[in-house]
C-alpha cells in the first residue's frame, strides 16, 4: 500500500511517500481504507522529534492521528461495523491507504458530511470538547477568551462554548474577524494590533494555546476562582504561570486529550445536525504532505488542513 513514512526525525522534507505492507488486523479490530487524513500540529512535532512520543517511536514510522474512510473488513468479534461503512476517528498511522484500529476509536460518518470534513474533526474536536466541557466546565452566561480562535482546536472550541451559552472573546489576525463572527465569537480581538488584556477582564475561563507571555497575560484576565486550560504540553507546570495563578486564585489545567467514543459520537451527531462545522482551509493530495506540514508550522492555517488519499 501507499503510505507516508519518516526514516529519521527532521524537517517536512523527511516525509517520504513509499510502498509498505498492508497492515494485518485481529479478531477485535477494524481494517479501514483511508479516504482522507487530517494534519495536526502534533504530527509536525512528532516528525521533528520534539514531541514526548518521539522518544519511543520506532523508525521507520507512519504518522497521522486523524482519518476518514471506508471499512474494508472487520474481525470476527466486531459487531458495531461492517465492510462498506463510512467512518472517521482519531487513529494512529493515518497517513496511509489502509489503517487498523479498535472499533472504540471510530464512529460512522454522517451522510451529509464529506470525507475531508470528517477527517479534519476528530483530534481537534475531542480536544476542544474536553477543554470546554470536561475541564473548564463552561456554563451558560459565563465568559471565555479563546486564544487562536481561528485555528484547528480554537474554531471548534468557539462553537462548543457558544452551544453552552457562553459569551466568547476570540483572538486571531484581523483578516479572520469575519470568520470568527461567523462561527460565533461575540468579540473578535486582533492580536496583531490589540492587547487582549486591555479588552477583557474578570473572565470565567481562558483556553490558552501559546504558552509563555500569552499564558501570563491570559491569567491576568481571569477573575479569582476562574480557570485557564493550557494546551501546549511543553508549558506544563511553568513556574511563573503557577506563581501568577496562585496569587490570583486561578486554576491552571494542562490535560492530554482522551479518545472517548461517546464524545466522538456526540461530535458526529452535531455535525450531522449542522450544529457544528469544521473549517477545512486546504485539501491537498497525499503527495504534497510536506507542503501541508510546512503550512501547519507557519501558523497561518484557518481551521484544519487535510490530505486526500
CB-based contact 139:165 (threshold 8 Å): yes
The residue whose grid cell reads 486529550 is: 257
Q: Confidence band (pLDDT; 50, 70, 90) for 155?
A: very high
Mean pLDDT over 298-306 rounds to 89
Q: Could you say which architecture CATH assigns to the domain 124-254?
A: 3-Layer(aba) Sandwich (3.40)
Does the pLDDT value for residue 125 go beyond 80?
Answer: yes
Does the pLDDT value for residue 300 go beyond 80?
Answer: no
Angle between helices 41-48 and 289-297 (to 10 degrees): 100
Q: Confidence band (pLDDT; 50, 70, 90) for 234?
A: confident
Q: In the chain, list all ranges with CATH 3.90.180.10.
A: 2-109+279-308
Q: In the chain, list all ranges with CATH 3.40.50.720.
A: 124-254
Q: Could you say which architecture CATH assigns to the domain 2-109+279-308?
A: Alpha-Beta Complex (3.90)
Mean pLDDT over 178-187 rounds to 97
Amino acid at each position: 500500500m501507499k503510505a507516508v513514512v519518516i526514516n529519521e526525525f527532521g524537517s517536512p522534507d523527511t516525509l517520504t511517500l513509499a510502498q509498505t505492507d498492508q497492515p494485518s488486523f485481529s479478531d477485535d479490530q477494524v481494517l479501514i481504507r483511508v479516504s482522507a487524513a487530517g494534519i495536526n500540529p502534533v504530527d509536525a512535532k512528532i516528525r521533528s522529534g520534539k514531541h514526548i512520543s518521539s522518544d519511543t517511536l520506532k523508525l521507520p514510522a507512519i504518522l497521522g492521528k486523524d482519518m476518514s474512510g471506508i471499512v474494508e473488513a472487520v474481525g470476527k468479534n466486531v459487531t458495531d461495523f461492517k465492510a462498506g461503512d463510512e467512518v472517521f476517528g482519531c487513529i494512529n498511522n493515518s497517513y496511509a491507504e489502509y489503517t487498523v484500529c479498535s472499533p472504540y476509536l471510530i464512529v460512522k460518518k454522517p451522510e451529509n458530511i464529506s470525507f475531508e470534513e470528517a477527517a479534519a474533526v476528530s483530534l481537534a474536536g475531542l480536544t476542544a470538547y474536553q477543554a470546554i466541557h470536561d475541564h473548564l466546565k463552561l456554563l451558560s452566561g459565563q465568559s471565555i477568551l479563546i486564544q487562536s480562535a481561528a485555528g484547528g482546536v480554537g474554531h471548534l472550541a468557539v462553537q462548543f462554548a457558544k452551544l453552552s451559552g457562553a459569551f466568547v472573546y476570540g483572538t486571531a489576525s484581523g483578516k479572520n474577524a469575519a470568520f470568527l463572527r461567523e462561527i460565533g465569537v461575540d468579540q473578535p480581538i486582533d492580536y496583531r494590533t490589540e492587547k487582549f488584556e486591555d479588552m477583557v477582564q474578570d473572565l470565567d475561563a481562558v483556553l490558552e494555546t501559546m504558552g509563555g507571555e500569552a499564558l501570563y497575560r491570559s491569567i491576568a484576565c481571569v477573575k479569582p476562582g476562574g480557570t485557564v486550560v493550557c494546551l501546549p504540553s511543553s508549558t506544563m507546570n511553568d513556574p511563573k504561570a503557577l506563581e501568577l495563578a496562585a496569587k490570583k486564585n486561578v486554576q491552571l489545567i494542562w490535560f492530554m486529550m482522551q479518545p472517548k467514543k461517546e464524545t466522538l459520537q456526540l461530535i458526529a451527531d452535531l455535525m450531522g445536525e449542522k450544529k457544528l462545522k469544521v473549517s477545512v482551509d486546504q485539501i491537498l493530495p497525499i503527495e504534497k504532505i510536506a507542503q501541508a506540514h510546512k503550512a501547519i508550522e507557519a501558523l497561518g492555517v484557518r481551521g484544519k488542513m487535510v490530505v486526500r488519499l
